[in-house]
């Protein structure tokens, strides 16, 4: 009997983690990517312990250590004058799984290198999912390429990890469109600083906020500014006008303005939200942003996709061992049941953070007082449900 084989649409962080999670369990995967070259856009991201444990279990601890920076905590300041509102120190050397800060493309490269080293992972680039059909034993996926030539491939199931504008989600019948939030994210890299221990710094302002943290071994600083806007643009990033951003941060603290002015190569993303999808339909499952896009106010978009991959791979392996190929739909359904509530909670917590971060006067006064009273220990307890997650 041939080894079980699954199809994965999307070679981003979620799709590659899914392929690796299957491959480590002896299950082969074909990853379909519509771009002709691999690579991840975006400046930086955070990998918290909940998803970091998954990556460690995939034997990625050492390559991640080479490209990431371990966070020494969180510092929250007021946008206008830099007043400190809350400091939550961390000691990464005491944590079994640290909070990692790194470039998005560095994480993607680690995952891609690991996938290329696995003999049971096949990568197909320059193809897009065009049609999907499933029966009692398999899924057939018709692909289109840039040359226009189509082909059809089969597997025991299909996992859609193709992002916010997921074609797989659309083809399953869920065509509810993403909804523009009225905000956009400006991302760039600034020179690194050795003046203090690396940590995540957050600046809260009326209708806006900024976050920055060290990446690339401390040589660079990832800077993200969230600002309101009336115009939305679909798809990936566009170049940002530094004059527009300079005017936007003119009312910020001196340190904030200096950091923004030192950053180069600003890219802008419109921020969209979308209601959660049905995460499984027969032999088709969705993960990451294809299933439940997460706004960047909790730094959990990549982490939630990594969690999804771990749970789905485990459940598929368990069902395949017990029932063989007929058990795939039950595994997909069990995955949807296991992940729906947590995904919805993370989505809502991120939305809630966005509302809290952007409060204007006088409500921001109450927020600032509340943060001081909450303190470091209170903040740790508030998010214990998130960071302490482990797969069964």
List, for residues 360-380, the tens digit of each pLDDT value. 999 999 999 999 999 999 999
pLDDT at 163: 95
Give the list of residues 6+ apart from residue 194 with CB closer than 8 angstroms, or none: 218
- Domain contains 79: no
Bond preceding residue 374 cis, omega within 30 of 0: no
- Domain contains 350: yes
pLDDT at 147: 60
How long, in residues, is the chain? 392
Q: Are 185 and 268 in contact (CB under 8 A)?
A: yes
Strands (DSSP E) contained in 163-243 are 179-191, 200-205, 208-215, 220-228, 238-239
Range of the domain at 340: 5-67+104-177+274-358
pLDDT at 165: 93
pLDDT tens digits for range 288-339: 999 999 999 999 999 999 999 999 999 999 999 999 999 999 999 999 999 9
- Domain contains 148: yes
CATH, residue 136: 3.50.50.60
- Domain contains 198: no
pLDDT tens digits for range 115-160: 999 999 999 999 999 999 999 999 999 999 866 567 999 999 999 9
**Percentage of the residues of the chain whose pLDDT score is greater than 70:** 97
- Rounded to 5 degrees, what are φ and ψ at 159? -115, 120
Per-residue confidence at 1, pLDDT binned at 50, 70, 90? very low
Which residue's structure tokens are 């059909």? 133
- Domain contains 335: yes
- Domain contains 327: yes
Which of 320, 298, 311, 318 lies closest to 379 in space, CA to CA?
Answer: 298
pLDDT at 82 over 80: yes
- Domain contains 332: yes
- Domain contains 279: yes
3-state secondary structure of 45: strand
Domain count, the chain: 1
């Amino acid at each position: 009997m041939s080894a079980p084989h699954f199809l994965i649409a999307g070679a981003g962080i979620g799709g590659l983690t899914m392929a690796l999670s299957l491959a480590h369990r002896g299950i082969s995967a074909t990853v379909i990517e519509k771009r002709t070259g691999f690579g991840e856009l975006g400046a930086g991201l955070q990998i918290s312990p909940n998803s970091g444990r998954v990556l460690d279990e995939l034997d990625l601890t050492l390559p991640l250590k080479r490209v990431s920076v371990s966070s020494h905590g969180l510092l929250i300041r007021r946008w206008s004058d830099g007043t400190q509102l809350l400091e939550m120190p961390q000691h990464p050397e005491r944590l079994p799984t640290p909070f990692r800060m790194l470039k998005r493309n560095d994480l993607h490269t680690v995952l891609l290198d690991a996938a290329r080293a696995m003999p049971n992972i096949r990568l197909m680039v320059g193809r897009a999912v065009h049609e999907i059909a499933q029966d009692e034993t398999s899924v057939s996926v018709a692909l289109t390429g840039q040359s226009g030539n189509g082909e059809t491939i089969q597997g025991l199931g299909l996992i859609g990890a193709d992002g916010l504008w997921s074609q797989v989600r659309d083809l399953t019948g869920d065509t509810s469109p993403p909804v523009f939030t009225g905000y956009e994210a400006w991302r760039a890299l600034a020179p690194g600083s050795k003046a203090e221990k690396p940590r995540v710094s957050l600046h809260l302002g009326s209708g806006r906020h900024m976050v920055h943290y060290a990446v690339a071994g401390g040589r660079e600083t990832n800077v993200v500014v969230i600002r309101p806007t009336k115009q939305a643009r679909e798809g990936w990033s566009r170049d940002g006008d530094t004059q527009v951003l300079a005017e936007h941060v003119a009312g910020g603290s001196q340190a904030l303005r200096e950091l923004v002015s030192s950053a180069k190569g600003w890219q802008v993303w419109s921020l969209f939200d979308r209601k959660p999808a049905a995460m499984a339909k027969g032999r088709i499952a969705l993960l990451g942003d294809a299933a439940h896009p997460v706004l960047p106010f909790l730094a959990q978009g990549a982490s939630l996709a990594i969690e999804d991959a771990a749970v789905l791979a485990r459940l598929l392996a368990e069902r395949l061992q017990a029932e063989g190929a007929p058990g795939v739909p039950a595994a997909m359904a069990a995955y949807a049941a296991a992940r729906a509530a947590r995904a919805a909670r993370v989505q809502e917590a991120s939305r809630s953070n966005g509302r809290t971060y952007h409060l204007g006067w006088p409500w921001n006064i109450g927020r600032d007082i509340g943060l001081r009273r909450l303190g470091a220990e209170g903040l740790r307890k508030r998010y214990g449900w998130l960071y302490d997650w482990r797969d069964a």
